[in-house]
Structure 1
Amino acid sequence: MSDSTVQTAARWSARLRAEDCTEDEQRRFTAWLDEHPRHREVFSLMSGVWASSAALAASHRQRTATPSRRTVLAVGVGLAASLFALPGAPAEAMVLRTATGERRRCTLQGGADMLLDTRSTVILPPTTGTDRAWLACGRIALTLPMGAAPLRLATADCTLTSAAGQFDIRLLDDGLAATVLDGSMTALPTSGQTEPIAIGRGMRLTLRAGKPPCIDRPRLDDLIAWRTGRVAFRDTPLAEAIVEMNRYSDRKMEIASPGIGALRISGLYHTGNMAGFAHALTRLLPVRIEDGPTLRIVKL
């Protein structure tokens, strides 16, 4: 989703809560929703994420049933607005984003340290008692030192909470992968799972649409390589490796011959160095590279 659409949705969430919100503003909000189906989708998603976060937490404390998606969306606007604004005063969410190939570090008000990977977007409410954030897209490295405020990180798939530790959290095309490097974390899925999922040190929780939660123990050195501008492949299909490398570069690479996407590649490569990666492919695999605006991989 585009950063401008996310930011506009966040502003409308706050403005609709304000006591001085006018009928004209409500009409303009409706017009904005109708401009494009994506506007309604993003606004509903944002509202639903925050609403399900609050509702699931309350449900767990009270040991009641998890609310349905319809119930979550029905109360979504009000709950989302309450997170993004104080009653009677307009407010705007802060949107942190990174461009292609960029990494960005920030420290939240409560003491949490966050490193955003390439093409990532995080939304922060303007006023919070404890740190809250919404990971809209991309990947983050998160550190919660002892004494920092507990963090509640919402995504479209779940809400992650922790009091201390180090974590790697990445949004997938169809879900989320959350890894605990140190400490512990609790995940509250937005659907299909009524009980919280505890994630301990060295464990990775993967949530994918239509599949049960999966917990494994990945190689942590490979997992965190992106923090130093590298990416690790271990017997990885070439098609997957290219998708990962393309995330970090404006100059893209594509497979031009059928079948070679299944070839396997291993090694540690610098993100953004597409020319160096292409050169390595010609030495390791039976392929050649056709130069141009897009680097085309052709079978020998």
Structure 2
Amino acid sequence: MSDSTVQTAARWSARLRAEDCTEDDRRRFTAWLDEHPRHREVFALMSGVWASSATLAHGRSRPVTASRRTVLAGGIGLAASLFGLPGAPAEAMVLRTATGERRRCVLPGGADLLLDTQSMLILPPAGAPGQAWLPGGRIALSLPGGGAPLRLATPTGTLTSPAGQFDIGVLPDGVTATVLAGLLTAFPASGAAPITIGSGTRLILRTGQAPCIDHPRLDDLIAWRTGRVVFRDTPLSMAIMEMNRYSEQKMEITSPVVGALRISGLYHTGNMAGFARALTHLLPVRIEGTHTLRIVKL
């Protein structure tokens, strides 16, 4: 989804809660909803940031969202400044990263958050109850004990936990959540029974599929945090998809035969030229092109 749609939905969520919201405001909001079906979907998700029964919080008495100073100091853009009107939520925080970026933000109360490249996390406005929302990307989250529980909305379910360490990512058709320490409970959007997993366990929720639980290599899973990626007999098509996330220069598979080739090893994210050279040594392929690197079978 586009950042502009998210920002507009955030502004409308705040505006409709303002004490001086007018009938004209409501008419313009209805017109915006009718412009595209996606507007309704994004607005419904954004409204959950304010309207749910819990919040992403880490202190006993103060609501937790990164302060404006904290966000700017960390280099993470504040993408949704809302209407600062009496009686309305002041702002929602949209923490996001661009291609090739990783950003760390220490939230009040000691929670440590790391956003991977091309990620977006939306936190409720200060003082407003609501769940956080992860519409895309991947995060590493460390929650200290003693605070309000995590409640994180994703495209295929809501994740909750009182404390722990987690690696959470949005897939093209679902979400993956791994517990490094503590416990995590998932409430699938399908309405299926809640699922609780513990340390060393990964849960994958995909649209239209049964939940998948496994025990991945944790060192491989968290390699992205230090700018690396690990492949173990991975189809080249999947490896290219992962590497492309970290670089403005893209690689392209020229045929299903090339995409089915397998690759293993540890590689540095963002170093597309080095990865391309490695492919020519490890696989029967050559590289063509400059801006977009095309992988052609020999």
* TM band (smaller chain): 0.7 to 0.9
Residues 72-127 of structure 1 deviation map (CA, whole Å, 9 limit, x = unaligned) = xxxxxxxxxxxx99993243211111000101111233432111101001111112
Residue 168 of structure 2: aligned partner: 169
C-alpha deviation, 1:212, in angstroms: 1.4
SS of match in other structure, 1:259: helix
Residues 136-165 of structure 1 deviation map (CA, whole Å, 9 limit, x = unaligned) = 110000001233442211112111111211
Q: CA RMSD in A?
A: 2.3
Where do 5+ consecutive residues of structure 1 fail to align? Answer: 56-83
Residue 152 of structure 1: aligned partner: 151
Mapped pair 1:12 → 2:12: yes
The answer to which structure has the higher helix fraction is: 1
C-alpha deviation, 1:171, in angstroms: 0.5
Residue 98 of structure 2: aligned partner: 99
Residue 66 of structure 1: aligned partner: none
- Asked whether the 8 Å contact 2:197–2:203 carries over to 1, the reply is yes
TM-score of the pair, normalised by structure 1:
0.83
Where do 5+ consecutive residues of structure 2 fail to align? Answer: 55-82
Query: More deviation in 22-31 or 247-256?
Result: 22-31
Residue 114 of structure 1: aligned partner: 113
The number of residue pairs the alignment matches comes to 270
C-alpha deviation, 1:15, in angstroms: 1.3
Rounded Cα–Cα distance in structure 1 between residues aligned with 2:233 and 2:278:
15
Rounded Cα–Cα distance in structure 2 between residues aligned with 1:100 and 1:224:
18
Residue 214 of structure 2: aligned partner: 216
Residue 26 of structure 2: aligned partner: 26
Residue 67 of structure 2: aligned partner: none
Rounded Cα–Cα distance in structure 2 between residues aligned with 1:164 and 1:258:
44
Residue 226 of structure 1: aligned partner: 224
C-alpha deviation, 1:49, in angstroms: 7.7
Query: More deviation in 238-247 or 89-98?
Result: 89-98
Percent same amino acid at aligned positions?
A: 78
TM-score of the pair, normalised by structure 2:
0.84
Residue 125 of structure 2: aligned partner: 126
